[in-house]
Amino acid sequence: MLKKIFIPVIILILTTSVSAATPVKTKPAPEGMVLISGGTYVPLYKKEDESGKQIVKPFYMDIYPVTNKEFLEFVEANPKWRRSNVKKIFADKFYLKHWAGDLQLGNINPNSPVTNISWFAAKAYAEWRGKRLPTIAEWEFAAGASKTKPDAFDDEENINRIQKWYSQKSPEKLPAVGSTEKNYWGLYDLFGLIWEWNYDFNTALVTGESRGDSNLERNLFCGSGSASARDVKNYPAFMRYGFRSSLKANYTVHNLGFRCVIDAAN
């Protein structure tokens, strides 16, 4: 009788100990994406104390911005997003103007980031891939890293590097993705290549009147400005918030593209 119990018990002990010894694995990141482990983050327009902190849940982010080649696959499968079919309300008249035709890229690098796409088009692409656009919080959290640290938002040297790209002219022909720097999370091209759409871009808080944007201005939703910004010297962050505020969802801009994210549900 003891023998009958003994062997199953041994097997039970062995299997549980084996499973106890191996670490719990998170599922591997989807292809072309990396895991951003999330945490707390203080946006530019908030003070760096408890009241300013926001929680960013873990998510996967595309390593590279979406390329022209990838977007071509999208419009091939979705005729209503082709240049000659798209409705004006969803994309203005410069939509994909750098392509040679509806389904022809022409003389551009297929691996360069797709630009001249509206928020509606970017969102549709993301949904077609089973993904979504990153929120401002997610994007700024991921972009707040330098090469070596996850949160380099206040790092002057890092800011200066980014500042230098922002003060250069846009090149006429954009280079391939991956041609700029990789940051701590393994993401490329968050700076030095293109502006990127966010899901909630129009909650960015700047009116055209940048001097008056302060949290004393109650009519402005979460007004930002020099009075209450987390770091008044982070010019690149000001410029990104400024740029987002100048957009409408159907706008296309020659140096504005996007990348996608997925929730990292366990």
Residues 129 and 30: their CA atoms lie apart, in Å, by 11
Alpha carbons within 13 A on the beta-carbon side of 156 = 2
Q: What is the DSSP-derived secondary structure letter of residue 64?
A: S
3-state secondary structure of 153: coil
* Shortest Å distance, C-beta 63 to other proteins: 24
* Shortest Å distance, C-beta 156 to other proteins: 9
Positions touching other proteins (CB under 8 A) are: 94, 160, 163-164, 166-170, 172, 206-213, 225, 233, 235, 238-239, 241-243, 245-247, 251-255
Residues paired with residue 188 on neighbouring β-strands, in sequence order: 182
* Shortest Å distance, C-beta 235 to other proteins: 5
* CB-nearer residue toward other proteins: 137 or 239: 239
* Shortest Å distance, C-beta 104 to other proteins: 22
Q: Which amino acid is at 227?
A: A
* CB-nearer residue toward other proteins: 56 or 204: 204
* CB-nearer residue toward other proteins: 90 or 94: 94
* CB-nearer residue toward other proteins: 206 or 262: 206
73 is written with which tokens? 């696959």
Burial label for 144, CB within 10 Å (0-12, 13-18, 19+), is buried
* Shortest Å distance, C-beta 78 to other proteins: 25
* Shortest Å distance, C-beta 169 to other proteins: 6
**Residue bearing tokens 């000001």:** 238
Strands (E), the chain: 33-36, 39-41, 54-56, 59-62, 195-196, 256-257, 261-263
68 is written with which tokens? 């022209």
Task: State in Å, rounded, how far the first CA of the chain is from the last one.
Answer: 43
* CB-nearer residue toward other proteins: 47 or 57: 47
22 is written with which tokens? 């191996």
* CB-nearer residue toward other proteins: 68 or 245: 245
